[in-house]
Amino acid sequence: MPVIETRRRVDAWRRTRPKRGPMPVDLWGEAAELARRHGVNPIARALGLDYYSLKSRLDESAARTAVSRSGFVEVAVCPPLPSPERVIEIERQDGARMRVRLSSQEDLLAMAESFWEVRP
């Protein structure tokens, strides 16, 4: 997707929108992809977008891509503790945390996969 084509789509959206509102997600996606290839500042200027808004979209896109590419998570299981209860703490890249108390290790993997799953 060339920059000129994306600029035309952004301009068309600006002309046809009924009132001020957020730019459609697909246009942000195109802008973020162009910024990934050519840099945030040149693309923000070429498309007439706010630098920081584009940078944050690019950062969000990169984080989602990094998380979605990880297909395997290694979980090191320690030897059984004398206590029947175990505390598991998990943290995602976006800072979300989860703390779970388990009495068995059977559902640990399923619980971790569910927590790290990326939702659109």
What is the pLDDT at residue 96?
82
CB 112 within 8 A of CB 90: yes
What pTM value is reported for the model? 0.51
Domain boundaries, the chain: 3-69, 71-120
- β-strand 97-102 against 86-91: which pairing, if any? antiparallel
Q: Count the neighbouring beta carbons within 10 Å of the beta carbon of residue 120.
A: 4
- Percent helix / strand / coil, the chain, rounded to 5: 55, 10, 35
- How do residues 95-105 score in pLDDT, each as one tens digit? 788 787 776 66
* pLDDT, mean over the chain: 78
